[in-house]
A and B are shown apart, each in its own frame.
Chain A
């Protein structure tokens, strides 16, 4: 190769190596391969040469052009990479900074339990029924076979409200959600399967009693529903709710004015540890019974044709047992620390197929 070409190569490569940024690199590129670049100039000279000379010189020039083009490209890529690296380095942040804070909301455990009850009983064909918190004493007591003088009435410390003008009926804050049983039986024809989760009120306030609390009532009316179904239904519910397929469940004869036979239901637990399921002790969790024929008749159902069962359970009580919450009053105090601790995510609602 002639010296001038070698010189061009050497100088171009040296200039490329020295080019530190895009502008310097571009200057080399234009100065070599541009319209008035050195290599372009040499190529132009080929036209004035004899064919033999041109052939010899042309070959060398083409090789040089290929080499330098490649070198320029490579250097360009290097410079781009360096620029990118520099940018990336300059954009570095402290990735250990905490995520941008977002307030975390939560669903109250009472709502959560109501949803779980709805999911479980819903799977057994129950619907949710509702009724007003302020009831007449007829709905809350009389229709439920609890006349005015009944000792059961004094056991329930009832809140009273002034009677409505022109009405003989006393108004009470419902002491139980059972009044909705009455409304349901009056409002729709059997077969009936409803649960009634809702607020209830009793004039009682201490460490284990709140003047307002929540109950979930249940009512099943059909032909041929027996106490065996009552037991099956409640055992099925309790085992699903506590997530223990063999949770011990015990039924004890008891008394409620609106059911007969009546029973209280206990589950196995440990008095010492509070653990549900084992331990050999029994803990009462709900009351139930076959709907009293007088209650059916008060609602216009003929007890010779229709029968069924009813039950009622304390929502706070079941929630406390399941989650080991020690204090009833904390449910209503709206302490954000407590709500955060016991609340549940709105994005995982109670779905049987995901597990409760």
Chain B
């Protein structure tokens, strides 16, 4: 919403400067988005008169002018090249030091071809005010010298733009803004009264209302004998200042009232209305051309205005081209109506039509204004275009907009934290247009003014469906009891400025704060820290990606496809952060950074819902170093990453088993699933399937993992027994088991571990050998078993017994034989 200072002053009697006004607007909730002061850059320019102009002695095309520019510059010599610089001419003078907007230079005093020149006489183009450049600007005869040119030309009217929140339809009017400012103590609201224009004939066009739910009340009248044409200068200037294009007097008048009073009006060319009747009714699939030139198809949910020839207007939103006022219009029918804000909002949104009228109707207009507004508009049309007015015709009746609101004075402090004396609070409300209906020590009941549709609105709740009935009823009753009170408290507080409320720190709930995160929530942070500590960079990427990219990493159900994506490659909720991570690896590689590790802890989406996934990718090589070649990353790197996270989260790492059935985006032979027991999948890891990398400029394997954090069980919080720190040295024994190539190392290690429960404290794989020293189709696994005696050093016989048990257990588990025993 834009307005000029002079327009505001039509409604507000104030001495406040534009800065004071803007500061106050910010305070009371009408946020200033911009101030544009066209006068500011014209400040140096003053009116002047050429006392005498003579030919320059050394230049044919120059004149030497003696200029009177008022106090301080009574007698200045200026050298001027304009052909129209002549004795006696009133002109615009720029003293030295002025910045000339049209030339973007700062002028200096100096001499031109030997003649002193102490300033400049300017054209309008040089002032940045238009294109004509036939010499210097010629001001009217008799212009007093020494005035500010901006003041003289009426270019000193600052334009203020405010952001109006959706609840404040009343502030989409200059008068509404003035009222708020006056209530906040920044001047007085000037009275406004529309004088009635008596109708002299019966309107040849009448209303019919077949859609009262959308339009409870509509007024109108015909004005005949008008001459349409350009509107007067003052009106054009005002509209232009707020960014509107003047069209014709009749249209400009409706726009004026939309902004002056927040009251949208529409004018039909009465001669182009067929059948003498305008009917408010539901649309029926008709197509009509709106004033903005677009064809609109209206539905039964849209309220339209139709004549005998068809739909002529989308009511409250935009008129139609066929019946709009033109330069040739000589008779108009003025429409002034109230529309249901919800229907306007939904129609406008459905049809994608925006207008100043819709903007106001959907936020609610002054319910009591239609009669007066129609009179004021009639008067202005007759003043500017001539003609005579018919009697007023209408359909429907004024809706019962009257509502009351109440306020317990103690609640201003009780909710708002500020003590406001009752009298002051009431005075504020009255200044805003509320009228006191009843008042006692403790409370006041007021009538809500017709322009404040946001106060004491009809109670609409949308309670959670599964609330217990009694709780729901009490809550609804409570809301009804305090709703309008909150509205009034807000009014009282905002006029004082919220900065006047003394801040109070929250009282502590406990002397030492309790943890803000649950153990489950902490795991996300832990996973992040572990991965970053292992050299991976955390990324944060969009939760959606292209459907095709997502499909490479999992299911892409229809239910997770956006209905209104902003781009084709952002239309599917991702199954896993790997989707984005692979794209990121590719982007970084393309920039010349192929050696990297990235991770994200974020959501993945599937038909089963949303899950928290810690995912990572590593690509390229570990860096070279003297004595160490650049080793490519491999799946053991990421298996270690994944296991480190699981260990940090307290997952029972010893009990995790790995199966080779990872999903399809991994290399089938180089990936695994991390499981706890047969059912719980903690994660997957491995080398990405080569097909995923094809055509991506990634010539080296990329490895990664996904950990499903929600699946990781919370560690049991039990007291751990003290560790047994045996004084006896452990004994290490190495075994080389020859097993079939398909036998999983895990089977061998598990069997060895389980061979003996008290002495074996560790089992570690240290070698894998495949080749001609073992039989075809088999491999040898080197396993180190650690025996930790607790009560006495081990004897050779004991060691041999445990070793035999280990061999027997492994043999039983997978048919292994000891290498060399063959």
Query: A-side interface residues toward B, CB under 8 Å?
Result: 97, 100-108, 110-111, 115, 118-119, 121-128, 130, 132-134, 138, 142-143, 147-152, 154-155, 159-162, 164, 173, 182, 186, 191, 193, 195, 199, 201, 203-205, 211-212, 214, 220, 224, 226-229, 231-233, 235-236, 250-255, 257, 260-264, 290, 292-294, 296-305, 307, 331-337, 339-340, 343, 345-347, 349
- The A interface, classified by DSSP as helix, strand, loop or mixed, is mixed
Given known pairs A147-B460, A227-B501, A228-B418, the reply for A162 and B506 (CB within 8 Å) is no
Partner of B517 from the list A128, A164, A193, A301 (CB cut-off 8 Å) is: A128
CB of B532 within 8 A of CB of A105, answer yes
- Please indicate the chain A residues that have their CB under 8 angstroms from the CB of B476 in the complex: 297
CB of B538 within 8 A of CB of A290, answer no
Partner of A298 from the list B461, B487, B490, B510 (CB cut-off 8 Å) is: B461
Given known pairs A122-B516, A128-B516, the reply for A134 and B533 (CB within 8 Å) is no
Query: What is the distance, in angstroms, from A29's C-beta to the closest C-beta of chain B?
Result: 38
- Please indicate the chain B residues that have their CB under 8 angstroms from the CB of A138 in the complex: 462
Query: What is the distance, in angstroms, from A162's C-beta to the closest C-beta of chain B?
Result: 5
In the bound assembly, the distance between CA atoms of A151 and B165 in angstroms comes to 9
- Please indicate the chain B residues that have their CB under 8 angstroms from the CB of A130 in the complex: 521
Binding-face segment, B24-32, B651-659, B732-740, B777-785: B24-32
CB of A339 within 8 A of CB of B538, answer yes
CB of A160 within 8 A of CB of B563, answer yes
- B496: nearest residue on chain A (CB-CB)? A253
With an 8 A cutoff between CB atoms, is B342 at the interface? yes
CB of B573 within 8 A of CB of A134, answer yes
Partner of B533 from the list A123, A160, A347 (CB cut-off 8 Å) is: A347
- Please indicate the chain A residues that have their CB under 8 angstroms from the CB of B166 in the complex: 150-152, 155, 255, 257
- B500: nearest residue on chain A (CB-CB)? A251
Given known pairs A134-B605, A252-B27, A255-B167, the reply for A297 and B463 (CB within 8 Å) is yes
Question: How many interface residues does chain B have, given as a range?
Answer: 35 or more
Query: What is the distance, in angstroms, from A217's C-beta to the closest C-beta of chain B?
Result: 14
CB of A107 within 8 A of CB of B538, answer yes
- Please indicate the chain A residues that have their CB under 8 angstroms from the CB of B560 in the complex: 161
In the bound assembly, the distance between CA atoms of A124 and B514 in angstroms comes to 9
Query: What is the distance, in angstroms, from B409's C-beta to the closest C-beta of chain A?
Result: 15
Query: What is the distance, in angstroms, from B327's C-beta to the closest C-beta of chain A?
Result: 35
- Please report which residues of chain B, range 16-44, place their CB below 8 angstroms from some CB of chain A when the two chains form the complex: 26-29, 31
Query: What is the distance, in angstroms, from B598's C-beta to the closest C-beta of chain A?
Result: 6
CB of B543 within 8 A of CB of A133, answer yes
Given known pairs A126-B516, A294-B483, A302-B474, the reply for A108 and B566 (CB within 8 Å) is no
In the bound assembly, the distance between CA atoms of A302 and B483 in angstroms comes to 12
- Please indicate the chain A residues that have their CB under 8 angstroms from the CB of B497 in the complex: 253
Q: 6 A-B residue contacts at CB 8 Å? A: A103-B536, A128-B516, A226-B413, A229-B504, A337-B593, A349-B529
Query: What is the distance, in angstroms, from A108's C-beta to the closest C-beta of chain B?
Result: 4
Query: What is the distance, in angstroms, from A267's C-beta to the closest C-beta of chain B?
Result: 13
CB of B415 within 8 A of CB of A227, answer yes
Partner of B564 from the list A203, A334, A347 (CB cut-off 8 Å) is: A203
Given known pairs A228-B504, A300-B472, the reply for A292 and B486 (CB within 8 Å) is yes
In the bound assembly, the distance between CA atoms of A294 and B510 in angstroms comes to 30
With an 8 A cutoff between CB atoms, is B247 at the interface? no
**Residue from the set B514, B540, B567 with the largest chain A CB neighbour count within 10 Å:** B540
- Please indicate the chain B residues that have their CB under 8 angstroms from the CB of A345 in the complex: 532
- Please indicate the chain A residues that have their CB under 8 angstroms from the CB of B515 in the complex: 122, 127
Query: What is the distance, in angstroms, from B597's C-beta to the closest C-beta of chain A?
Result: 6
With an 8 A cutoff between CB atoms, is B596 at the interface? yes
Partner of B475 from the list A126, A253, A303 (CB cut-off 8 Å) is: A303
With an 8 A cutoff between CB atoms, is B113 at the interface? no
CB of B531 within 8 A of CB of A105, answer yes
- Please indicate the chain B residues that have their CB under 8 angstroms from the CB of A250 in the complex: 499
Partner of A151 from the list B363, B460, B501 (CB cut-off 8 Å) is: B363
In the bound assembly, the distance between CA atoms of A157 and B541 in angstroms comes to 20
In the bound assembly, the distance between CA atoms of A235 and B477 in angstroms comes to 34
In the bound assembly, the distance between CA atoms of A111 and B544 in angstroms comes to 19
Partner of A111 from the list B346, B414, B538 (CB cut-off 8 Å) is: B538
CB of A294 within 8 A of CB of B479, answer yes
CB of B479 within 8 A of CB of A199, answer no
CB of B532 within 8 A of CB of A106, answer yes
Partner of B514 from the list A105, A125, A251 (CB cut-off 8 Å) is: A125
Query: What is the distance, in angstroms, from B621's C-beta to the closest C-beta of chain A?
Result: 11
- Please indicate the chain B residues that have their CB under 8 angstroms from the CB of A103 in the complex: 534-536, 597, 622-623
Partner of A106 from the list B471, B525, B538, B542 (CB cut-off 8 Å) is: B538
- A132: nearest residue on chain B (CB-CB)? B610
Partner of A102 from the list B510, B535, B580 (CB cut-off 8 Å) is: B535
Query: B-side interface residues toward A, CB under 8 Å?
Result: 26-29, 31, 165-168, 341-342, 345-346, 349, 362-363, 413-418, 459-464, 467-468, 471-472, 474-479, 481-483, 486-487, 489-490, 493-494, 497-499, 501-506, 508-510, 513-518, 521, 525, 528-544, 558-567, 570, 573, 580-581, 584, 587-588, 591, 593, 596-598, 601-603, 605, 609-610, 622-623, 625-626, 628
CB of B464 within 8 A of CB of A186, answer yes
- B163: nearest residue on chain A (CB-CB)? A254
Partner of A261 from the list B416, B499, B503, B603 (CB cut-off 8 Å) is: B416
CB of B580 within 8 A of CB of A334, answer yes
CB of A254 within 8 A of CB of B486, answer no
Query: What is the distance, in angstroms, from A265's C-beta to the closest C-beta of chain B?
Result: 9
Partner of A343 from the list B482, B538, B596 (CB cut-off 8 Å) is: B538
CB of B534 within 8 A of CB of A105, answer yes
Query: What is the distance, in angstroms, from B351's C-beta to the closest C-beta of chain A?
Result: 13
- Please indicate the chain B residues that have their CB under 8 angstroms from the CB of A236 in the complex: 505-506
In the bound assembly, the distance between CA atoms of A28 and B636 in angstroms comes to 59
- Please indicate the chain A residues that have their CB under 8 angstroms from the CB of B518 in the complex: 127-128
- Please indicate the chain B residues that have their CB under 8 angstroms from the CB of A193 in the complex: 506, 509
CB of B588 within 8 A of CB of A346, answer no
Given known pairs A101-B623, A105-B535, A302-B478, the reply for A142 and B462 (CB within 8 Å) is yes
- Please indicate the chain B residues that have their CB under 8 angstroms from the CB of A262 in the complex: 490
Query: What is the distance, in angstroms, from B581's C-beta to the closest C-beta of chain A?
Result: 8
Partner of B537 from the list A106, A133, A203, A331 (CB cut-off 8 Å) is: A106
Given known pairs A115-B525, A125-B509, A300-B467, the reply for A226 and B587 (CB within 8 Å) is no
In the bound assembly, the distance between CA atoms of A252 and B31 in angstroms comes to 8
Given known pairs A105-B531, A149-B345, A205-B567, the reply for A121 and B539 (CB within 8 Å) is no
**Residue from the set B166, B476, B517, B534 with the largest chain A CB neighbour count within 10 Å:** B166
CB of A124 within 8 A of CB of B513, answer yes
Partner of A232 from the list B506, B510, B588, B628 (CB cut-off 8 Å) is: B506
Query: What is the distance, in angstroms, from B571's C-beta to the closest C-beta of chain A?
Result: 10
In the bound assembly, the distance between CA atoms of A214 and B191 in angstroms comes to 49
- Please indicate the chain B residues that have their CB under 8 angstroms from the CB of A296 in the complex: 475, 478-479
In the bound assembly, the distance between CA atoms of A115 and B529 in angstroms comes to 12
CB of B416 within 8 A of CB of A124, answer no
CB of A254 within 8 A of CB of B478, answer no
CB of B418 within 8 A of CB of A334, answer no
CB of B562 within 8 A of CB of A161, answer yes
Partner of B463 from the list A161, A300, A336 (CB cut-off 8 Å) is: A300
Query: What is the distance, in angstroms, from A185's C-beta to the closest C-beta of chain B?
Result: 9
CB of A336 within 8 A of CB of B605, answer no
In the bound assembly, the distance between CA atoms of A305 and B414 in angstroms comes to 12
CB of B418 within 8 A of CB of A293, answer no
- Please indicate the chain A residues that have their CB under 8 angstroms from the CB of B475 in the complex: 296-303
CB of B537 within 8 A of CB of A260, answer no
Query: What is the distance, in angstroms, from A43's C-beta to the closest C-beta of chain B?
Result: 47
Query: What is the distance, in angstroms, from A159's C-beta to the closest C-beta of chain B?
Result: 5
- Please indicate the chain B residues that have their CB under 8 angstroms from the CB of A162 in the complex: 558-559, 561, 563
CB of B566 within 8 A of CB of A211, answer yes
- B342: nearest residue on chain A (CB-CB)? A149
In the complex, given contacts A159-B562, A303-B478, what are 14 additional A-B residue pairs having Cβ atoms less than 8 angstroms apart?
A: A103-B535, A105-B534, A122-B515, A127-B514, A161-B559, A186-B467, A226-B504, A228-B418, A231-B501, A260-B490, A290-B416, A294-B459, A297-B461, A339-B539
CB of A147 within 8 A of CB of B505, answer no
- 8 smallest CB-CB distances across A and B, nearest first, come from A228-B417, A103-B535, A122-B516, A253-B29, A255-B165, A334-B584, A105-B532, A253-B494
